[in-house]
Amino acid sequence: MTSRDIRAVENPISAIFDLAEDVNREAPRIRKLVTYASIFIVLWLIVEIPLIIVALRESFLVGVFLMVLFVIGVLAVGLLGELRGFFRYYVMRHSVIISVRSDDPVVYAPDGNTTLERLSKLLSLRNPPLGTSLGGRPITPQRIRGASGIYYAFDGYFVGKPGILWRTLGIGYPGYQIFIKAFDQKPKAEDFMFLKHAAEDVSQSTKVPPSRVIALWTRKPDDDLSEDAYAVVTSQAAFFLTEESTSSAHWNS
């Protein structure tokens, strides 16, 4: 067998990561091809509309045939949009997996008087642009209005403004949002679900995708999350839905 043979697998785990790397390298090129194909089909659909009108006057069968092609083209554009969203989601998940894989397994919390202060320093170290925007200031509570009109209280909230193309066309740099909620006691499943709903509601209002939803509390010995709460943290994500894309934020706790 050669090195390119699909049967040449030495370590299954390493092979899975190598396969993911290969797909991730090809993802930008495939997304460009999908975008070009979508533009071509949309332009053809625009040109086809007057052709359908003319064909229906001259030949009913030809007009019906063009209408069928028009419907197929619309469905193709929708499927290409879903494919583009899938690759966007895949690349995001892959980047998270790589960051976790290459990260130090032991994370030392910086010094600070409170958990929020220590978290603020940790986020600044992990995210230099965020540290620059904070300017050494501590995290402060904020009340943010959601799309439903309800105001939500967060112990920490950060937002990175999106680019002009994202605000106008839904493409380009989308910005980011980080939501932090501190709990005096061990959070329950309904606490996590409410925090998820709050992040989604605010994201719909600001039109900026959520990046992280952080639930913060001081864990006591043998004081683990309940099975229901743990299931929410490991299976749920805060989603931001638009006509062009779907973004999601996973939990940190």
Phi, psi of 181, rounded to the nearest 5 degrees: -130, 120
Residue 152 to residue 143: CA distance in whole angstroms: 5
Question: Which pLDDT belongs to residue 57?
Answer: 85
Is residue 126 in a domain?
Answer: no
Contact 112, 124 (CB under 8 A): no
Tens-digit pLDDT profile for residues 179-229:
888 888 888 889 989 998 998 899 888 888 888 888 888 777 777 888 888
Co-location of 90 and 31 in the same domain: yes
Q: Could you tell me how many helices (H) and strands (E) the chain has, helices first?
A: 7, 7
82 lies in the same domain as 26? yes
Question: Would residue 133 count as lying in a domain?
Answer: no
Q: Answer yes or no: is 190 within a domain.
A: yes
**Residue in this structure with the two tokens 């193709």, named with its chain if needed:** 76
Q: What is the tally of structural domains in the chain?
A: 2
- If asked whether residues 248 and 155 sit together in one domain, one would say yes
Of the candidates 83, 102, 121, which is a domain's last residue? Answer: 102
pLDDT of 242 > 50? The answer is: no
User: How many C-beta atoms lie closer than 10 Å to residue 160's C-beta?
Assistant: 16
What is the C-alpha to C-alpha distance for residues 232 and 238, in angstroms, rounded to an integer?
11
pLDDT at 244: 39
B/e letters for 96-129, b = 16+ CB within 10 Å, e = fewer, are eeeeeeeeeeeeeeeeeeeebeebbbebbeebee
Please determine, for residue 18, whether its predicted confidence score (pLDDT) is greater than 80. no
pLDDT band at 245 (very low <50, low <70, confident <90, very high): very low
Claim to verify: residue 166 and residue 234 sit in the same structural domain:
yes
The reported pLDDT for the residue numbered 152 is 93
**Tens digit of each residue's pLDDT (9 = 90 or more) over 22-62:** 777 777 788 888 889 999 999 999 999 998 888 888 888 88
CATH number of 152's domain: 3.40.1350
Are both 72 and 19 inside the same structural domain? yes
Tell me if 78 is assigned to some domain: yes
Give the domain range for residue 85.
Answer: 12-102
Quickly state the pLDDT bin for 240 (edges 50, 70, 90): low
Q: Which of 196, 190, 187, 181 is nearest to 236 (CA)?
A: 196
Q: How confident is the model at residue 5 (pLDDT cuts 50, 70, 90)?
A: low
Q: What is the pLDDT of residues 132-170, one digit of tens each?
A: 766 666 677 889 899 899 999 998 888 877 777 766 666
Q: Is the pLDDT of residue 246 over 50?
A: no
